[in-house]
């Protein structure tokens, strides 16, 4: 009896507040999990399969990427070639497996460039402010006024067609959203009292940016980076599709789609499966990014 009275009395104090917070958090988590559990689990599974294909393609692919079967040119899906063959007699499933690493490397490279350049510019404009912020943001506004695909075509055409130049072109296209996001976060954090207190005790600007400002930008920056992976894959695939992207002997999903669309009426499997591979990768990354956004922002409710 004494223990029960103590427990009830504790509900009105600090311990009781902690218990109520925990109950509210668990209730919120139970409300969210049924809505996102299956899509996120499926997205993680698809991404795990694609990463495995990128890491160990030799162990998973039934044929080498350069193997040609001249007796099975444009063969439909069957026992020997599960997804059919292309116009050279190469196994499409093997080409997709070997091309997974190529697509993932390009996506991660483009997002890394966008995060580094966009994050740096956003930190400078948001923290310094004044005329610097005004001039840089007007340039970003002009940057964002140009359609992303058109800007990617202009940059890729100006550069020599190569794997690195394609990554650079797509990365530059994705810089502007990162600038605006980081700038907004920095301006919000800069106005908080602990930043003024840091200035008052003589803390340097670089230390304030690295220790106090940048950590507050990490969560939204991570979410935007995850969501930008899908966009980078689509833009890079579109560049390869129109013939100004990667042009080498490595399998590329966008280039396979470009080659296969000429045979759509006679060999539907040739462009269909590369297109499905791109779609699955983009949808899975976007689903994972959306779940990450919901998890990192408790104010967001999934409708």
- Cα Rg, the chain, nearest whole Å: 25
Q: Taking a C-beta distance cutoff of 8 angstroms, is the pair 74, 263 a contact?
A: yes
Q: What is the structure's pLDDT at 228?
A: 83
Fold of 40-296: MetI-like fold (1.10.3720)
Which tokens belong to 54? 């990128």
Which tokens belong to 303? 């409708």
Per-residue pLDDT tens for 106-134? 888 888 999 899 888 888 888 887 888 88
Percent of the chain with pLDDT over 90: 1
> Which range among 109-118, 173-182, 226-235 shows the weakest confidence by mean pLDDT?
226-235
Distance CA 131, CA 125 (A): 9
Per-residue pLDDT tens for 238-257? 787 777 766 556 677 877 87
Q: Taking a C-beta distance cutoff of 8 angstroms, is the pair 250, 240 a contact?
A: no
Domain boundaries, the chain: 40-296
Per-residue pLDDT tens for 274-288? 888 888 888 888 788
Per-residue pLDDT tens for 77-109? 888 888 888 888 888 998 899 888 888 888 888
- Asked whether the predicted pLDDT for residue 10 surpasses 50, the reply is no
Q: Which residue in 195, 188, 182, 254 sits closest to 225, CA to CA?
A: 182
> Which range among 39-53, 71-85, 279-293 shows the weakest confidence by mean pLDDT?
279-293
């Amino acid at each position: 009896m004494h223990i029960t009275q103590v427990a009830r009395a504790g509900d009105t104090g600090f311990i009781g507040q902690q218990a109520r917070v925990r109950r509210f958090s668990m209730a919120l988590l139970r409300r969210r999990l049924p809505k996102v559990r299956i899509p996120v689990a499926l997205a993680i599974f698809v991404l795990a399969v694609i990463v495995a294909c990128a890491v160990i393609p030799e162990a998973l692919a039934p044929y080498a990427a350069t193997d040609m079967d001249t007796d099975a040119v444009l063969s439909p899906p069957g026992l020997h070639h599960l997804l059919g063959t292309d116009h050279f007699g190469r196994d499409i499933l093997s080409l997709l497996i070997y091309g997974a690493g190529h697509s993932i490397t390009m996506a991660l490279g483009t997002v890394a460039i966008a995060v580094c350049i966009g994050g740096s510019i956003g930190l400078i404009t948001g923290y310094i402010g004044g005329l610097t912020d005004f001039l840089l943001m007007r340039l970003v506004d002009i940057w964002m006024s140009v359609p992303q695909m058109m800007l990617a075509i202009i940059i890729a055409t100006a550069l020599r067609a190569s794997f690195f130049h394609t990554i650079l072109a797509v990365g530059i296209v994705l810089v502007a959203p990162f600038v605006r996001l980081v700038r907004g976060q920095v301006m919000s954090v800069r106005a908080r009292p602990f930043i003024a207190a840091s200035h008052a005790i003589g803390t340097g600007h670089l230390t304030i940016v690295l220790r106090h400002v940048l950590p507050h930008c990490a969560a939204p920056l991570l979410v935007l980076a995850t969501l930008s992976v899908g966009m980078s894959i689509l833009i890079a695939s579109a560049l390869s599709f129109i013939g100004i992207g990667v042009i080498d002997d490595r399998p590329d999903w966008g280039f396979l789609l470009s080659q296969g669309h000429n045979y759509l009426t006679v060999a539907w499997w040739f462009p269909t499966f590369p297109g499905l591979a791109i779609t699955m990768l983009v949808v899975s990354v976007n689903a994972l990014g959306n779940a990450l956004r919901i998890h990192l922002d408790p104010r967001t409710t999934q409708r």
